[in-house]
Amino acid sequence: MTTAPSTTTDEAPQPPTAAPSKSVGAALRPLVLRLHFYAGVVVAPFLLVAALTGLLYAASFQAEKIVYDHELTVPVGERELPLSEQVAAAREDHPDGTIAAVRPSPEAGATTRVMLSGIPGVDPAHTLAVFVDPYTAEVRGELEQYGSSGALPLRTWIDEFHRDLHLGQTGRLYSEFAASWLWVIAAGGLVLWFSRRRALRTVRGTSGRRRTLGLHGGVGAWAAIGFLLLSATGLTWSTYAGATIGELRTSLGQETPAVSAEAAGEHAGHGTAGGASGDAAHGAGLDKVLAAARAEGLGDPVEIKPPADENSAYVVQQIQRSWPEKQDSAAVDPATGEVTDVLRFADYPVLAKLTRWGIDLHTGSLFGLANQIGLMVLALSLILLILWGYRMWWQRGRGSAFGRPVPRGAWQHVPPQVLVPLLAAVAVLGYFVPLFGIPLAAFLAVDIILGEIAHRRGRRTQGAGTAVR
């Protein structure tokens, strides 16, 4: 797996002299090499940014625990106070805005989070998390929070840097472009590595360009599966490919389900006077709502969302993203405290489960610290592969110049029975992953134009030479 491979004499395609006797693999290798080289050269800068920012993001989970230790942890007390008292303490300290959700203390020594929306100066897409000591109801502090994973300012800043370079929706194109091509480069690198003779894959005892190539290919071969997973999972919530994948899931009936948040018919509109503030002035109240969810088997960690309006119920959902995941949810009538609907993660459609697991694997949540270390290793591997790739290209050149690029025309030597299905598959992939298809079409168009220009210049040169003679 590489990003910017060299074009040495033992790699570069040679003009075929016996095309009919070539195997399909031998005919495809020059085409794969050319695609791998140019994709690496063009996409490598974007991948380098994604790898560096991804490395920071993977480390941000542990950094967040250190930086915000005061807000996140407290000395363990004898007994936790009722949740309603903890929320009341947060509201007394921060009366502005409305309660968007409450996350009770998930374990001994952890604070309760009360999330407020509509706070002046806080990004409308974020909430203000007020951290409350569950044993004393002391407010430990407040921090801006983002996303379902509860990212605090440090991780939020790094997350947005990795996702869109703080450039908004336009910036997201960079990460989708990188993810759209990472799998192509990884798969091409695997093909090239395993199609080489074993002796040419050796690192030990070699030097110069051969050694760089050995390191580049060896590390890439080991990391390729991880790159393929990162590419696939990253595309699931990207702007364009993600939308297409979402439409496909919907058409197959595989979208992520949601618990019904409608309140029971005869109780709708009753007992929810304080619903928007997170606790009802009359009716069940947060403590009874939480107890009802616990009775349905919803263990920590959970998040409680108050009724959206007078006809809605409380929604209690498990929010554990580490394995095994806890994603069950329940709706609780705000007037009676009775559970009106339950949705189990076990009942999710297959693609909905795979999407959830894929996103959590990509973001470092699924397997906790081990997941985060794995992501950091992959990021470091990608950085090294990019540097080695450019170094091989430089070593292929002479003096202070990069080596010559891989020559065009490799596709002409691929048998039609292989080339036609291959082009059809690429067209389908280009439709579902537009930031792969559109750049590839643009590259082919430019390559054809340059080839035609070179061909005409060659004909003019030959004609001039004939006239001179």
pLDDT at 140 over 60: yes
Tell me what pLDDT residue 417 has. 85
Q: How confident is the model at residue 21 (pLDDT cuts 50, 70, 90)?
A: very low
Beta strand 98-103 with 112-117 is antiparallel
**CATH assignment of 69-151?**
3.10.450
CA–CA separation, 259 and 339 (whole Å): 11
**103-126 residue pLDDT tens:** 999 999 999 999 999 999 999 999
Single out the residue of 60, 109, 113 nearest to residue 80, CA to CA.
Answer: 109
CB contact at 8 A, 275 and 310:
yes
Measured CA distances, 419 to 34, 137, 437 (Å)? 15, 69, 17
Grouping H, G, I as helix, E, B as strand and the rest as coil, residue 455 is: helix
Question: What value does the mean pLDDT of the chain take?
Answer: 87
Tell me what pLDDT residue 189 has. 92
CB contact at 8 A, 16 and 414:
no
What are the E-state strand segments in 263-419? 302-305, 314-318, 329-332, 339-343
Q: How confident is the model at residue 265 (pLDDT cuts 50, 70, 90)?
A: low
- Type of residue numbered 122: V
**Domain residue ranges of the chain, discontinuous segments joined by +:** 28-60+165-249+368-412, 69-151, 271-347
Q: What is the mean pLDDT of residues 176-198?
A: 90
**221-261 residue pLDDT tens:** 999 999 999 999 999 989 999 999 999 999 999 999 999 99
For the CA atoms of 282, 287, 292, 296, what is the dihedral angle to 10 degrees?
150
Tell me what pLDDT residue 112 has. 98
Tell me what pLDDT residue 291 has. 96
pLDDT at 437 over 60: yes
Q: How confident is the model at residue 322 (pLDDT cuts 50, 70, 90)?
A: very high
Q: What is the mean pLDDT of residues 123-140?
A: 97
Task: Kindly tell me the burial class for residue 4, based on how many C-beta atoms sit within 10 Å of its own C-beta (0-12, 13-18, 19 or more).
Answer: buried
pTM, two decimals, is 0.86
Q: What is the sign, positive or negative, of the torsion defined by CA atoms of 425, 431, 435, 439?
A: positive
Q: What is the mean pLDDT of residues 379-395?
A: 94
CA–CA separation, 295 and 299 (whole Å): 9
**442-468 residue pLDDT tens:** 888 887 787 778 778 766 665 555 544
pLDDT at 282 over 90: no
